[in-house]
């Protein structure tokens, strides 16, 4: 099957590289409709994609007769209506993570997609990092014994002079760094261990200084500007409102404990320690994505047993993972590819963590689920 693809949010930081990958998948897909706010960039994208239909109204993408797969790549708070409309139209869905602004939206979208019986995909790309895949093999083989400690550091610093974007706006970004990078982090831990978090206690804040306000620019443009301008010297500055730092204590349903640090702050640098530590009753494991190593620590072994994992990068994710998944789902097989059900469960965690930060207390995921009127089934 060759999919007719419609892209909502076609020219942003996420949409641009995704479209480039899809263009290479000539046997699997063709781009037939594009939607974005900025007409200059939209026309340029259409020329790149060989696409004749462009619009600033996402409804026209969903309704397009040649579109049977819709990509929703807009800010978090703008996912709900396009996703529900896509499911109602009986069209397949690719939805960027985090899938919604809150747990209620996430459950509504997952339910709509499930009930419509359409194929769906959520890009939790970290599952395809070879070091994490190797860690999963080690855990599933029982080498660590029962997991009792989980420590994660996802520090993704942005340039100190980076301008303000929608990701800094709490009305558009569901929970700032908690949702942005925290969604990847939580998904990879649950994928490796097969466990879910039971409750969380969060301290979160906006720790980056006010940023240059250059209007409506996407993250790619902002990062480029920030790298070229080492000093934030724009005349107008704007303080972000979305969390850009969080420390979360978590307890898991297998009684494991630990913590996770999530940050986009420029001064919390990455690569100084293993990204993920898993501590079990038999051994511990340290995963260093940057150096592509997995190090096993048996009891009383402080040096560890490092294993270097070959990593050639993601490559074309659309060809390797996305269209493979959609073809399998259309044929009646789900496989292990991440979908809207995973997106909903991840949103339970990120919503609970953000709620804990606002309340200043432990939050049970089951209680938050019940408050939202959803059901963990």
pLDDT value for 93: 98
Determine the straight-line distance between the first and last CA of the chain, rounded to whole angstroms: 31
Pair (107, 194) in one structural domain: no
Whether 190 maps to a domain, the answer reads yes
What confidence tens digit (pLDDT) does each residue in 223-255 have?
788 777 756 555 688 999 999 999 999 999 999
pTM recorded for the entire structure: 0.93
Tell me: pLDDT of 83 over 60. yes
Q: What is the mean pLDDT of residues 337-355?
A: 96
Residue pointed to by tokens 């340290």: 286
- Specify which residues 203 forms β-bridges with: 247
Residues 316, 59: contact at Cβ < 8 Å? no
Among the listed residues 21, 124, 14, 158, the one whose alpha carbon sits nearest the alpha carbon of residue 78: 14
pLDDT at 217: 78
Question: Are residues 262 and 248 in contact, defined by beta-carbon separation less than 8 angstroms?
Answer: yes
Q: Are residues 58 and 174 in the same domain?
A: no
Across the chain, mean pLDDT equals: 93
Q: Confirm whether 223 is domain-assigned.
A: yes
- Which runs of E-coded beta strand occur in the chain? 3-8, 29-35, 54-55, 69-72, 92-95, 120-121, 147-155, 197-205, 211-212, 237-238, 245-252, 257-263, 276-280, 284-288, 293-297, 305-308, 363-364
CB atoms within 10 A of CB 281: 10
109-123: average pLDDT: 98
**Tell me, what CATH number does 182's domain have?**
3.30.360.10
What is the total count of domains within the chain? 2
Domain limits at 290? 126-308
Q: What is the pLDDT of residues 123-144, one digit of tens each?
A: 999 999 999 999 999 999 999 9
Do 291 and 273 sit in the same domain of this protein? yes
Residues 151, 99 share a domain: no
Using CA atoms, how far apart are residues 308 and 351, in angstroms rounded to an integer? 35
pLDDT of residue 228: 76
pLDDT digits (tens, 9 = 90+) for 85-103: 999 999 999 999 999 999 9
On whether residue 350 sits in a domain, the answer given is: no
Other beta carbons within 10 angstroms of residue 197's beta carbon come to 23
- Residue 93 shares a structural domain with residue 190: no
Q: Confirm whether 361 is domain-assigned.
A: no
The arithmetic mean of pLDDT across residues 324-337, rounded, is 93
Residues 149 and 234 in one domain: yes
pLDDT at 166: 85
Q: Is residue 169 part of a domain?
A: yes
- pLDDT, one tens digit per residue, over 253-305 is 999 999 999 999 888 888 888 999 999 999 999 999 999 999 999 998 989 99
The CATH number of the domain holding residue 17 is 3.40.50.720
């Amino acid at each position: 099957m060759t999919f007719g693809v419609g892209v909502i949010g076609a020219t942003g930081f996420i949409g641009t590289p995704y479209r480039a990958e899809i263009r290479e998948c000539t046997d699997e897909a063709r781009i037939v409709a594009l939607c974005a706010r900025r007409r200059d960039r939209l026309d340029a994208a259409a020329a790149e994609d060989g696409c004749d239909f462009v619009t600033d109204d996402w409804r026209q993408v969903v309704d397009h007769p040649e579109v049977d797969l819709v990509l929703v790549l807009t800010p978090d708070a703008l996912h709900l209506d396009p996703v529900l409309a896509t499911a109602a139209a009986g069209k397949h869905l690719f939805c960027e993570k985090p899938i919604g602004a809150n747990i209620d939206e996430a459950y509504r979208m997952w339910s709509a997609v499930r009930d419509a019986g359409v194929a769906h995909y959520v890009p939790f790309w970290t599952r395809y990092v070879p070091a994490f895949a190797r860690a999963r093999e080690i855990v599933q083989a029982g080498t660590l014994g029962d997991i009792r400690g989980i420590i994660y550091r996802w520090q993704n610093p942005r340039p100190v002079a980076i301008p303000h974007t929608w990701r800094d706006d709490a009305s558009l970004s569901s929970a700032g760094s908690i949702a942005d990078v925290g969604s990847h982090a939580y998904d990879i831990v649950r994928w490796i261990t097969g466990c879910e978090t039971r409750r969380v206690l969060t301290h979160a804040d906006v720790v980056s200084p006010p940023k240059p306000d250059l209007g409506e620019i996407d993250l790619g443009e902002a990062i480029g500007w920030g790298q070229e301008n080492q000093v934030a010297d724009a005349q107008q500055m704007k303080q972000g409102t979305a969390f850009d730092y969080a420390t979360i204590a978590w307890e898991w349903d297998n009684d494991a404990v630990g913590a996770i640090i999530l940050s986009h702050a420029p001064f919390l640098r990455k690569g100084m320690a293993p990204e993920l530590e898993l501590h079990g009753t038999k051994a511990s494991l340290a995963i260093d994505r940057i150096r592509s190593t997995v190090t096993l620590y048996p009891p009383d072994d402080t040096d560890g047993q490092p294993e270097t994992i070959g990593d050639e990068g993601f490559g074309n994710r659309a060809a390797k993972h996305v269209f493979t998944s959609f073809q399998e789902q259309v044929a009646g097989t789900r496989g292990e590819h991440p979908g809207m059900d995973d997106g909903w469960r991840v949103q339970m965690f990120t919503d609970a963590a953000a709620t804990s930060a606002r309340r200043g207390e432990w939050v049970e995921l089951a209680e938050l689920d019940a408050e939202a009127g959803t059901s963990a089934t």
